[in-house]
A = this chain, B = another copy of it.
Amino acid sequence: MEIGFTPAEEAFRDEVRAFLREKLPPRTAAKVLGSKRLTRDDLAEWHALLNARGWLAVGWPADQGGPGWTVMQGFIFDLECALAGAPRVIPFGVKMLGPVLMKYGTEAQKSHYLPRILDGTDWWCQGYSEPGAGSDLASLKTAAVRDGDHYVVNGQKTWTTLAQYADHIFCLVRTDASVKKQEGISFLLIDMRTPGVEVRPIVTLDGEHEVNEVFFTDVRVPVGNLVGPENAGWTVAKYLLTHERTNIAGIGESMQALNWLRRIASRETSNGRSLDRDPLFAARLARVEIDLENMKTTNLRVLATAQRGGAPGAESSMLKIRGTEIRQELTSLTRRALGPYAQPFTPEALDDGFNGEPVGPPDAAPVAAEYFNNRKLSIYGGSNEVQRGIVAKALLRL
């Protein structure tokens, strides 16, 4: 009895590895593995390299430009990418809008937008959350009022990831305020270069600029940019939210984080011996390592079900909860491992071209910042509280 992939899957994995060895720019991989900052160009370059290989649009049907992989192949691909230090593909165009357009878009929308997603002409971001509409997304207020051949959009989105790089945004907007809140929402594509769109950075507690506020003031959007029927946006949004869940547990990222942690723990010393021989730290390390080993198998079990056609529903919530707990614990332990050197904050050391002397251990600079940044994992993508509610209701029928 052996736990492992099928020979075909092993062969596929070798193929992925060969591709990564050949194509993944070492400079980019070094940044990812060292938790350094990526530029817009780094991301665009990797996007183009994947597209050239036909491996960009993993979830798309083969006839639309997808690679035609099984669920398990998608998992292996994500895993190998994470271990090799590939950047994550920015999901908003490829993983989110693409499938939505294929299901709800007009022919004109499909033929215009889908190729431009693949070739990187358009860079999308997602306009969902608002200051008053987080977990309770349906309370959103950004209004789109019909005026001839246009909608006039006014309102504000927030937590818009990488909006500073994007030139397009897909939004949920309110087109009818007189009906039940889910029923008056529409799904609208907006060119961010239209007058009245303003992006303002949100700086997070680690000093990084990853998310934004996006303001809309009398922004005129052609009615042709409506996806699906007017006021059917909630259905579209729900479809999008349930899509693309193969890598929700972040196994590859956690394995990578564990490698990083182990390296630090074997080098740092405590009481004259390496930290990974300190009884309390070794126990913390072993606990999370075992939890991750278990999680790998849990994830493979869910995928095996999906492979056989069983759609993972609430199981995704389990993977999300436990997967993010493990990732948070790993960055928490890495922070602990550094001891006093978790304190220095040298964000300049994360930039391209930094060649100053590091403070403390060579890999210390991003660690505490990443610990704080990773608090987001249990908040975004449906907070872990929301996910626990789903498990209780859908899986446990409480």
- A279 at interface by CB-CB < 8 Å: yes
- A1 at interface by CB-CB < 8 Å: no
Alpha-carbon distance A390/B283, docked complex (angstroms): 36
Q: Is the interface of A mostly helix, strand, loop or mixed?
A: helix
Q: How many residues of A contact B (CB 8 A)?
A: 3
Copies of this protein in the complex? 2
Within the complex, the shortest CB–CB distance from A286 to chain B, in Å, comes to 10
- A280 at interface by CB-CB < 8 Å: yes
Alpha-carbon distance A279/B277, docked complex (angstroms): 11
Q: Which residues of chain B have C-beta atoms less than 8 A from A280's C-beta?
A: 279, 283
Within the complex, the shortest CB–CB distance from A285 to chain B, in Å, comes to 13
Q: Which residues of chain B have C-beta atoms less than 8 A from A279's C-beta?
A: 279-280, 283
Contact with B along A258-293 (1 / 0, CB 8 A): 000000000000000000000110010000000000
Q: Which residues of chain B have C-beta atoms less than 8 A from A283's C-beta?
A: 279-280, 283
Question: Which residue on B lies nearest to A278, using beta carbons?
Answer: B279
Alpha-carbon distance A279/B279, docked complex (angstroms): 6
Contact with B along A277-315 (1 / 0, CB 8 A): 001100100000000000000000000000000000000
Within the complex, the shortest CB–CB distance from A289 to chain B, in Å, comes to 16
Alpha-carbon distance A283/B280, docked complex (angstroms): 8
Interface residues of A in 149-207 (CB under 8 A from B): none
Within the complex, the shortest CB–CB distance from A280 to chain B, in Å, comes to 6
Within the complex, the shortest CB–CB distance from A276 to chain B, in Å, comes to 14
**Nearest 4 A/B pairs, CB to CB:** A279-B279, A280-B283, A279-B280, A279-B283
